[in-house]
Chain A
Amino acid sequence: MTPEEWTAVRLSLLVATTATAASLPFGIAVAWLLARGRFWGKSLLDTLVHLPLILPPVVTGYLLLISFGKRGPIGAFLDEQFGIVFSFRWTGAALACAVMGFPLLVRAIRLSIEAVDTRLESAAGTLGAHPLLVFATITLPLCLPGVIAGAILCFAKSMGEFGATITFVSNIPGDTQTLPSLIYTLTQIPGGDAGAMRLTLVSIAISMVALLGSELLARRIGVRQMAA
């Protein structure tokens, strides 16, 4: 593999890890709200979370560009107040991946929270545990396999994200050229076939490992739910 290819693989791993880690706390919070919350606008939140799954990725990328870009309202605010810049940086690629992976993350966690018996939670409450501690000591451990499965799905989605990323942060080698972006570039130039094939194999290997991990965990959830 060429140094350029290695850079793209490393960048993709960094982007996917950051996107997954940064969206995980929000994913758990939103999943809990959707699973257990009763509030006005719940279906609106549900729709909003799932939107990136249904919209064409290019549309999501464009929406990110006009809102989080240098001149976009959110992007300009974050740049002025905190010095955080997303446009044409790897952080922007991570943001695009996090948005695209979020529905998958929330969905898996939500299902596993819904599978936790609320009667166990109220039992923990009668034993003196504050609702937050009930969540930390009962709900979270019992839905942990679902959380991990959701994180793996989000990571896999981030490794493969192309449309939203290239629309939002372009395809700059070393900065925003992720693994799928480089494969696309290589297919556009003469003699790039070998490189595209090498990266395709790397991509397949990473996806397979992620899927296998998710499958194994899904099986463990099944076992635990039968036991409980």
Chain B
Amino acid sequence: MSLEVDVDHARGSFHLSARFSAAPGLTALFGRSGSGKTTLVDIVGGLIRPDRGKIAVDGQVLVDSACGLFVPKHRRRIGYVFQESRLFPHLSVRSNLLYGRWFAGDGGAAADLASVVELLGIAPLLERRPESLSGGEKQRVAIGRALLAHPRLVLMDEPLASLDEARRAEILPYIERLRDEAGVPILYVSHSVAEVARLATTVVILTEGQVTAVGPVADILSLADSGDAGGVLDAVVARHDEAFQLSVLATAAGELQVPRLGAPVGAPVRAYIRARDVMLSLRPPEEISALNVLAGRIVAITPSANGAQADVRLDCNGAALTARLTAKSVQRLALAPGRPVYAVIKSVSFERS
């Protein structure tokens, strides 16, 4: 599948101008609130008609202002999971799930009720009414409802925004399974770095209505204009160290020791390392408490706006990592692109997301 977007839309003084194409998998639309993320997905979903532009899914043109083409939302076959679940209050969970199937007809992704119910773990909820569900349960049903309409693309507009930490942790694995098992491409809106780092294949960064960066998650997230910048490492659980309640992750950059994970040995995971948790050393540190030391080479140094800090991007054997240092440290160590360094990361700085 491919999603091609090239639209301009003005709403009052706000101007959205977005051009990007999304690869298969989960594409995260990332940006601060008010950057136009929801407007953009509403345009893709057919809820807003853009002033100008073109949108195509799998080569089929849905919007083309040049020839006045606008496919209405009910004929787009694009599933939409809203921030508030928007379940129909007068229908049972089962009828909500099957609502889109009345209209879907044949073809499309062969998602049937039993497999979707199994995927999302909502079998016990089927006969209940939406008002009796918890926030997390509502969102899972909303995801299932969108899937059962046989969409060729699923839009998710901050589906976890209205949920607390625990409910988020409950849903994230289901979205991961959706990405990996259901084979339906997803356009996912979020302003949470942790969510994007964990879920995204491709990231599109939106800043004040403009697309400022597009690319694979590991390349883009370190560039994100965010207080929470960092690097993403793809990893596999190598083994668990039960004695110390640690898990060892194998990454391209080397082994990482993190607090004990629930994932089994061999499971793919992602480690998101915040720039402010990374320390740099010119020599391999000895007799130091931090368990993780990764060798790398400086790629670039980006000073912060006021010049007091700098983000130092590293290439650790192909994996990108970012360290946030004071300008003073950069000068004291005479850091410069090309210089080999050692990144030091405390194991306790890792948090579960």
B89 touches A129 (CB 8 A): no
Taken together as a complex, chains A and B put the C-alpha atoms of A168 and B131 apart, in Å, by 51
A127 touches B90 (CB 8 A): no
Interface size class of chain A, counting residues whose CB lies under 8 Å from the partner chain = 20 to 34
A124 touches B88 (CB 8 A): yes
Of B72, B88, B102, B104, which one neighbours A120 at CB under 8 angstroms? B88
Contact digits for B76-109, partner A, Cβ 8 Å, 1 yes 0 no: 1111101010101110000000011011100000
Q: Does B74 contact A (CB under 8 A)?
A: yes
Q: Does B209 contact A (CB under 8 A)?
A: no
* Chain A residues whose C-beta falls within 8 Å of the C-beta of B103 in the assembled complex: 127-130, 133
Taken together as a complex, chains A and B put the C-alpha atoms of A126 and B104 apart, in Å, by 11
Q: Separation in Å of the B290 CB from the closest CB of chain A?
A: 49
Knowing A120-B88, A142-B89, A227-B131, the reply to whether A128 touches B100 (Cβ < 8 A) is yes
Q: Separation in Å of the B80 CB from the closest CB of chain A?
A: 4
* Chain B residues whose C-beta falls within 8 Å of the C-beta of A228 in the assembled complex: 89, 131
A138 touches B88 (CB 8 A): yes
* Chain A residues whose C-beta falls within 8 Å of the C-beta of B90 in the assembled complex: 141-142, 224
Q: Does B296 contact A (CB under 8 A)?
A: no
* Chain A residues whose C-beta falls within 8 Å of the C-beta of B89 in the assembled complex: 120, 142, 224, 227-228
Q: Separation in Å of the B100 CB from the closest CB of chain A?
A: 4
* Chain B residues whose C-beta falls within 8 Å of the C-beta of A120 in the assembled complex: 86, 88-89
Q: Does B47 contact A (CB under 8 A)?
A: yes
> For residue A144, which residue of chain B has the nearest CB?
B90
* Chain B residues whose C-beta falls within 8 Å of the C-beta of A133 in the assembled complex: 103
Within 8 A of A (CB), among B101-126: 102-104
Within 8 A of B (CB), among A114-133: 117, 119-120, 122-131, 133
Taken together as a complex, chains A and B put the C-alpha atoms of A141 and B90 apart, in Å, by 7
The size of the chain B interface, using a CB distance under 8 A, is: 27
Contact digits for B319-342, partner A, Cβ 8 Å, 1 yes 0 no: 000000000000000000000000
> For residue A131, which residue of chain B has the nearest CB?
B74
Q: Separation in Å of the A32 CB from the closest CB of chain B?
A: 18
Q: Separation in Å of the A76 CB from the closest CB of chain B?
A: 44
SS of A interface (majority): helix
* Chain A residues whose C-beta falls within 8 Å of the C-beta of B80 in the assembled complex: 123, 126
Of A119, A125, A130, which one neighbours B82 at CB under 8 angstroms? A119
B131 touches A127 (CB 8 A): no
Of A126, A137, A138, which one neighbours B74 at CB under 8 angstroms? A126
Taken together as a complex, chains A and B put the C-alpha atoms of A133 and B79 apart, in Å, by 18
A128 touches B82 (CB 8 A): no
* Chain B residues whose C-beta falls within 8 Å of the C-beta of A124 in the assembled complex: 88, 99
Taken together as a complex, chains A and B put the C-alpha atoms of A141 and B80 apart, in Å, by 22
B131 touches A126 (CB 8 A): no
Q: Does B136 contact A (CB under 8 A)?
A: no
Q: Does B50 contact A (CB under 8 A)?
A: no
Q: Separation in Å of the A171 CB from the closest CB of chain B?
A: 46
B99 touches A126 (CB 8 A): no
Q: Separation in Å of the B351 CB from the closest CB of chain A?
A: 34
Q: Does B187 contact A (CB under 8 A)?
A: no
Q: Does B36 contact A (CB under 8 A)?
A: no
> For residue A138, which residue of chain B has the nearest CB?
B88
Q: What are 22 sample pairs from A and B whose C-beta atoms fall under 8 A apart?
A: A117-B86, A119-B86, A120-B86, A123-B80, A123-B88, A124-B88, A125-B73, A125-B74, A126-B45, A126-B46, A126-B47, A126-B73, A126-B149, A127-B99, A127-B146, A128-B149, A129-B100, A129-B102, A130-B103, A137-B99, A142-B89, A227-B89
